[in-house]
Amino acid sequence: EVLLVESGGGLVQPGGSLRLSCAASGFTFSNSWMNWARQAPGKGLEWVANIKKDGTETHYIDSVKGRFTISRDNARNSLYLQMSSLRAEDTAVYYCVGGTGWLTRYWGQGTLVTVSS
Amino acid sequence: EIVLTQSPGTLSLSPGERATLSCRASQSVTSTYLAWYQLKPGLAPRLLIYDISSRATGIPDRFSGSGSGTDFSLIISRLEPEDFAVYYCQQYGSSPLTFGGGTKVEIK
């Protein structure tokens, strides 16, 4: 069974930083592109970033470029999202997502990030 | 960036009826890289359809996808009570990956 478990969400002030983690199991993590996606309250799904199997290539949505960094540790089957200079509009449930190529097949339950003073 | 526009925003139907959801892309989707997801409150998004028309593992055959280029559809042939949810299309052929705005299928 595929399991993706996010952690690290919480309340943070505007301009602050937060690091999300995702523990993966049940599939070959090291052979999978991995992603972060989010859903703001009352809004639709939004893809945030992805990272190649070996970590040598990353892609980001424009609104987080220069502020968020996606990384992975294949030895630990773990995915990370370092978020800095957080804004109110970054408030969302953040999902860890894996799959085949760029197909986002497997989704975690999500972790809530709230940016507010 | 490929913009996906879904219609209608809300579909009000009764159990047993047929649902047709539309997804239009601002430019041609790369290869066949178009997927559909189901979202229910408090649950992880569920992949239904990938590569335009391939059903994901465990998805019942009342769900089907079709289309090409810029116009795509998700059809639910006979709505079951558990199908009332929000549905999103997504293209995963070019970066940034993008989702449509969603279609809510609600009980009439």
Torsion of CA A51, A55, A59, A65, to 10 degrees: 110
Q: Which residues of B58-81 are buried (b: 16+ CB within 10 A; e: fewer)?
A: ebeeebbbebeebebbbebeebee
Read off the DSSP letter of residue A77.
T
Q: How many residues does chain B have?
A: 108
Tokens of A58: 């990353």
Tokens of B105: 């299928």
The tens digit of pLDDT for each residue in A27-71 reads: 999 999 999 999 999 999 999 999 999 999 999 999 999 999 999
Which residue of B43, B95, B102 is in closest CB contact with A44? B102
The alpha carbons of chain A give a radius of gyration, in whole angstroms, of 13
Residues 32-61 of A with CB under 8 A from B: 35, 44-47, 50, 59-61
pLDDT of residue B31: 87
Q: Which residue has the tokens 């999300």?
A: A20
The tens digit of pLDDT for each residue in B4-32 reads: 999 999 999 999 999 999 999 999 998 89
- CA A102 centroid distance within chain: 14
